[in-house]
Amino acid sequence: MRLQQNRAVEAEQLARKGLSYAQSNYQQAALWRLVAEAAEQQGKTDTAANAHNKAMQLEMAGDRG
């Protein structure tokens, strides 16, 4: 929602906060994808790349347990 409102900084902050509450790899991966998209909109290419990598690692790991 925040990204659609062109509020990328706030969207990134909320997604990062959500990471502490996410219980599954799937939830964490989705939040890291939001972090990546928000970072891209802010021109933070290194942050975006790192967030994409974290999301991919979590997706590959799946939801174990």
Residue-wise pLDDT tens digits, 35-57 = 999 999 999 999 999 999 999 99
The set of long-range contacts for 35-39, using a CB threshold of 8 Å and a minimum separation of 24, is 37/3, 37/11, 38/2, 38/3, 38/8, 38/9, 38/11, 38/12, 39/8, 39/12
Banded model confidence at residue 65, pLDDT cuts 50, 70, 90: very low
The answer, yes or no, to whether residue 63 has pLDDT greater than 90, is no
Q: Which residues contact 20 (CB under 8 A, 6 or more apart)?
A: none
Q: Which of 60, 10, 6, 63 minimizes the C-alpha distance to 35?
A: 10
Q: Does residue 4 surpass a pLDDT of 90?
A: no
